[in-house]
Amino acid sequence: MNLRQLQLTPDNFITNTNISFDILQFRPNDIGHGVMAQHMFPNNFGVSVVQNGAGKRGLYGNIENDTFEVAILEGQDADSAILTYSTHLTDDVLGYQTIDKVTNIMRQVYELKKNVT
């Protein structure tokens, strides 16, 4: 199943203040019987946001305390993106993040400079 993504273009996206948790489109996740969402930005970076289901383990985010695990992605699109630890934001996944913290991380990821090879 492909993830549907909000396509951010100059016409519908002006500043990173438009970025929020609300643009994430969650789907079921077999790991932890919870949910997951991926969102890519025009700079070829994105986020993967996951959460365990009730009473489940395996991820660093849980529905009982409304927290999420966030990983930073790098790639052309959500289908080809891979986890990256090469940014100044983190060298691992970010565990137990609140909705407000996820929004803040998303805005920081949006501001990352595109890698040019």
pLDDT tens, position by position, 96-107: 999 999 999 999
Whole-number Å distance between alpha carbons of 77 and 99: 23
- Closest by CA to 40, choosing from 91, 89, 75, 87, is 75
Cβ count within 10 A of residue 27:
11
More confident residue, 37 or 117: 37
Prediction pTM value = 0.83
**pLDDT tens digits for range 10-22:** 444 446 778 999 9
What's the pLDDT band for 110 if we cut at 50, 70, 90? very high
